[in-house]
Chain A
Amino acid sequence: MQRDQSRISYGGGKNNGLAKPPTLGPRLIPRSPSVPSLHGEKSFNSLNMSDPVLNRPIYKENPSKESRISNIGKAFLEPEYTPDIQASPSTIGGNSNLSVIDMYADDMESQLASEESEELHPTTINETNETSNTSSKLVPKFMNRLSLSTSSHDRNADTDDDDDENIYQQNQPIPKSPRINISSKDAEHFDRYGFKKQSTYITEQEYDIWWREYFQYCIRRKNKWIQLMEKNDLSANDESVRRFPPKSEKLKRYVRKGIPAEWRGNAWWYFANGQQLLDENTGTYPQLLLKIDHIETLPDKENKYPDLEIIERDLNRTFPDNIHFQRESFQTDEPEMIKSLRRVLVAFSLYNPKIGYCQSMNFLAGLLLLFLDEEKSFWMLVLLTSKYLPGVHNVNLEGVNIDQGVLMLCVKEYLPEIWEYIIPSNKHNNKNNLNKLMNSGFSSNHHNTRSQESNKNEFLFKLPPVTLCTASWFMSCFVGVLPIEVSLRIWDCLFYEGSHFLFKVSLGILKLSEGELLKSKHYDSITHYSLNGNQNKKSMNPEENEMELFQILQSFPKRLLNPNDIFEKIIFKKRITFNNLDQEEIDRCRQYVTDQRQKNKPLADTKKSSSHTNINNNQSSDNSVISNHSDTNYRNNNIHKFRSVKHTNSSEEHLPAGTTEGYGFKRSITSVNWNSGLKQKVRQIRGKKD
């Protein structure tokens, strides 16, 4: 039915079978719980959460505020909103670690939503277009800065949009001047999860402008979800959403468009099959906590458990920008969230000594804790480090190396132009090759001993430096790599679809980076032309090319504020070849890279045999814990794969050509047969083995 995920017909009941009109009036607006009572705990207002910052006396009776704040600001400071905030001190309990978030800031939601229903008249429209149009109207400058899509540039060039821009600027909703008082100011500076809106790469204003539109998208999506749940006779009440419909193509699509934030924790838990793991290990976490208590009493604990010290150092370096993780200057006790984070990480290091504690797990656990209670967070961390990212956090990080090898293969296959930056082909420019050799420094002596085949696959065991950047994407599942709302959307898909999704996202980011590269390349060709004396656009030496890519990759994803810029425009675009990448492929690819690395172990740079045996033991022990889950997951993924292939074929022809235009590059995307390519490789390897 659905022709294309990037073109969703909105509110038109024909797809979901519900004939509800696409109104966004108050009646349909899901009122998010003041707190995700996801954990069956006492409610508290999200904006207060565990941090008293926001509880200080309020902006309630400021007479001047009306005149000083418009739209968004007003919504934040709506009078009826105030009592919640004021009531908060009493609601902050010792278990605030379980809290989170009023996902839509309640009243603001209904208020803005009703506004929207008047001004946006959401008839059946292509959702992407609607989104982009709205965004380009609202945020032309922002979009320009992002430069993610020339299509938005085009729209910005529209005279109508220019008019809108002017109107918008007149109604500048976020005053830059100091606010009325601290509390209101603070409340506004944080997003619905307690993260500071502003980052090095995004201003608060940009955030607010984007959010104003995105949260309307969230509301629309949630309405859709509610309909889906009701159709499946499942509770859609925020307080009691525990179960979800059986996996289906439709559900997958829904997940890809974002799980409602209030349901996220439970949805992840459900899709990852966490409950089964917990049921099989009842009592394990409490026992681990007892063990932690015991360890705390040991005089030489630091020596005996070296991970403790590293965990300790990372607790306050996990989400320093999130109010749940911040200690206020007047607080003597550390935030509950920090305590929970410590317990989960220490418990994990005891539970799985083969992994112990690996930096980046703090980000995983930290994010889980914002959505799930401590015990569930713990088991989700177990699942993440075993099922989704096997070996990635092991002592020798071999899993990272394998996944990076897989990613490099994918890049080579699907994004040859990016690959050119990483490992330039020799045929165009022999000079590149010489440079490469030079820049690989004194490793050149290795070349003597390497076989032809080793050289060909050298990048699998001698990973290119750019993998240092991409490795962090996998280790932390994009937490901190991308803005939080984007990361969450990725987690939705990760738990529903499996780890191959991380590769898809990575390829999506790399694809997006191409636009950035071209920009800087253009700049570069002007500035370095004379230096090189070479007209070839790839005349810079390979190391510089790769560093340029590295530099772009380490910063530009952080500006990628809008999830749909990467989701709908790249990852799920039907004409993107890597759209077909599925779990089976990735699993096979992982096996291939593992074999390759094993085979070339003596030549690989960093082998420590002692730690290498660890990984194997560890993986097998992990697998035994979760084998059931893996099986189910695997099956499901196969089903999805099958469906998704069918889906692709049927939808492709409807798609107008050139929908991917607008990212500064144009590339014919023909069907690359990844399967046969890989098979061929495997056959070659086997042949050589024999």
Chain B
Amino acid sequence: MSTRKKNILKVIILGDSGVGKTSLMHRYVNDKYSQQYKATIGADFLTKEVNIDSDKVATMQVWDTAGQERFQSLGVAFYRGADCCVLVYDVTNTKSFQNIKSWRDEFLVHANVSTPETFPFVLLGNKIDTDDSKKVVTNKAAQELAASLGNIPLFFTSAKTAINVDTAFQEIARSALQQNQNDADSFEDDFNDAINIQLDNDTNSCSC
């Protein structure tokens, strides 16, 4: 059981189209930024080895998703088993900020997590490198939102200039690892129930 996921931490990045999900992922995983990212269709993931609190090592699987709402219907399959969900808005886009809550709800519905109250979310306000005059979401509003979502960690980031990206993902990794371990523990119980069902099916379907 200890090698159940070989400490693979599954992290899902959600948020409106164009808030910078792909850029954040690439900045974190490859420490690169490009103006030339194409719109994401479906989902991609990258993996990165992470050191958490300098003594634990894990592989983080970062999932980048399409931002358009209708793509949510495709995403459900990989929401499942997530260890942390990163919610991203664009500090220059009010709507992307207003939609954060619905992204979270959407995630909780589909991910089918055992304890939604404690499932780790991290909120990122991206594009803080932009000119102040263009920023429309205040830090205060962001802090209030983070508090209302259960005091989830909040970071103001810039994938472009790398501000806070590593810091944020350190926190994400930590939360994910915590969740992963909790999950594994509580999983044992569910698991025992499930075995029987599946074995029944086996005897029926296995004709060899």
* Stretch from B127-135, B158-166, B197-205 contacting the other chain: B197-205
Contact A437 B17 (CB under 8 A): no
Q: Which of A314, A362, A438 has the most CB of B within 10 A?
A: A438
Chain B residues near A608 (CB, 8 Å)? 73
Docked-complex contact A401 and B74, CB < 8 angstroms? yes
**B interface footprint on A597-624 (CB within 8 Å = 1, 0 otherwise):** 0000000011010000000000000000
Query: B195 an interface residue at 8 Å Cβ cutoff?
Result: yes
The stretch of B33-41, B49-57, B144-152, B167-175 in contact with A is: B33-41
Identify which of residues 64-112 in chain B touch chain A, using a CB-to-CB cut-off of 8 Å.
66-68, 70-78, 80-81, 95, 110, 112
Q: Are B110 and A605 in touch, CB under 8 angstroms?
A: yes
Whether, in the assembled complex, A462 has its beta carbon less than 8 Å from a beta carbon of chain B, the answer is: yes
Contacts of B190 in A (CB 8 A): 442, 444
Are A441 and B70 in touch, CB under 8 angstroms?
A: no
Chain A's closest residue to B75 (CB) is: A468
List the A side residues contacting B3 at CB < 8 Å. Answer: 531-532
List the B side residues contacting A547 at CB < 8 Å.
45, 61
- The A366-416 residues at the B interface (CB cut-off 8 A) are 394-398, 400-401
Contact B77 A463 (CB under 8 A): yes
**Which of A12-20, A203-211, A470-478 is found at the contact surface with chain B?**
A470-478
Query: Chain B contacts of A317 at CB under 8 A?
Result: 18, 37-39
Most B CB within 10 A of own CB, among A359, A395, A439, A547: A359
Contact (Cβ within 8 A) A318 B81: no
Q: Which of A320, A442, A452, A554 contacts B38 (CB 8 A)?
A: A320
Chain A residues in 8 Å Cβ range of B80: 440-443
CB closest residue in chain B, given A396 = B73
Closest to B184 in A: A438
Chain A 579-593: CB-based contact to B (< 8 A → 1; otherwise 0): 000000000000000
Residues of A within 8 A of B70 (CB): 358, 394-397
Contacts A359-B39, A442-B112 given; does A468 touch B78 at CB 8 Å: yes
Interface residue range, chain B? 35 or more
Given A441-B80, A442-B190, A462-B77, A475–B42 Cβ distance below 8 Å? yes
**How close is A489's CB to chain B, nearest CB, in angstroms?**
21
Structural contact, A543 and B39, CB atoms closer than 8 A:
no
B194→A437 contact, CB < 8 A? yes
Which of A68-76, A427-435, A645-653 lies at the binding interface? A427-435
List B contacts of A606 (CB < 8 A).
Answer: 72-74, 76, 110
Least Cβ distance of B160 to chain A in Å? 15
**Residue of A whose beta carbon sits closest to that of B36:** A320
- Which residues of the other chain, A, contact B181 by a CB distance below 8 angstroms? none
Q: Are B81 and A543 interface neighbours, CB within 8 A? A: yes
**CB of B29 within 8 Å of the partner chain:** no
Cβ-defined partner of A447 (8 Å) among B4, B44, B187, B198: B198
- Known contacts A427-B206, A433-B198, A441-B81; is A472 also within 8 Å of B41 by CB? yes
Q: Give chain A residues whose Cβ lies under 8 Å from the Cβ of B206.
A: 426-427
The reply to whether A452 and B204 form a contact with Cβ atoms under 8 Å apart is: yes
Complex alpha-carbon distance, A57 and B65, angstroms: 43
Please classify how large the interface on chain A is, using the bins under 10, 10 to 19, 20 to 34, 35 or more.
35 or more
Question: B38 touching A469 by the CB < 8 A rule?
Answer: no
Q: A400-B74, A462-B77, A608-B73 are in contact. Are A320 and B35 (CB under 8 A)?
A: yes
Instruction: Tell me whether A318 and B205 are in contact in the complex, defined as CB-CB below 8 angstroms, given that A441-B81, A550-B45, A606-B76 are known contacts.
Output: no
With both beta carbons as reference points, the residue of chain B lying nearest to A427 in the complex is identified as B208
**B182 touches A (CB below 8 Å):** no
Pick the contact of A313 from B6, B17, B45, B75 — CB < 8 Å? Answer: B17
Q: Which residues of A contact B95 (CB under 8 A)?
A: 309
Question: Quick check: A480 and B204 within 8 Å, CB to CB?
Answer: no
Q: Which residues of B contact A437 (CB under 8 A)?
A: 191, 194-195, 198
Q: How far is the CA of A465 from the CA of B35 in the complex (A)?
A: 28
Question: CA A447 – CA B197 in complex, angstroms?
Answer: 7
Complex CA gap A441/B111 in Å reads: 9
Query: Hey, which chain A residues are within 8 Å of B117, CB to CB?
Result: none
Nearest-CB residue, chain B, relative to A435: B4
Q: Which residue of B lies closest to A366 (CB)?
A: B38
Q: Which residues of A contact B73 (CB under 8 A)?
A: 396-398, 401, 606, 608
Asked if B77 and A605 sit within 8 Å, CB to CB, the answer is yes
- Over the window 458-496 of chain A, the binary record of Cβ atoms lying under 8 Å from chain B Cβ atoms (1 yes, 0 no) is 000011110111011001100010000000000000000
Asked whether any CB of chain B lies closer than 8 Å to the CB of A116, the reply is: no
Chain B residues with CB under 8 Å of A551's CB are 45, 47
B202-A430 in contact (CB<8A): yes
A443 with B68: CB separation less than 8 A: no
- Contact status A321-B41, CB under 8 Å: no
A464 → B minimal CB distance (Å): 7
Residue of A394, A435, A455 contacting most chain B CB atoms (<10 Å): A455
Q: Nearest chain-B residue to A362 (Cβ)? A: B39
| Residue contact B38 to A358, C-beta cutoff 8 Å | no
B113 within 8 A of A: yes
Counting CB contacts under 8 A, is B114 at the interface?
yes
Q: 13 A-B residue contacts at CB 8 Å?
A: A310-B17, A317-B38, A359-B39, A363-B39, A395-B70, A440-B81, A444-B197, A462-B77, A480-B41, A543-B81, A554-B44, A605-B76, A605-B77
Q: A317-B37, A359-B67, A434-B198 are in contact. List 8 more A-B contacts (CB 8 A).
A: A359-B17, A400-B74, A439-B81, A452-B204, A462-B77, A541-B4, A544-B8, A606-B72
- State the B residues within 8 Å of A (CB): 3-6, 8, 17-18, 35-45, 47, 61, 66-68, 70-78, 80-81, 95, 110, 112-114, 187, 190-191, 193-195, 197-198, 201-202, 204-206, 208
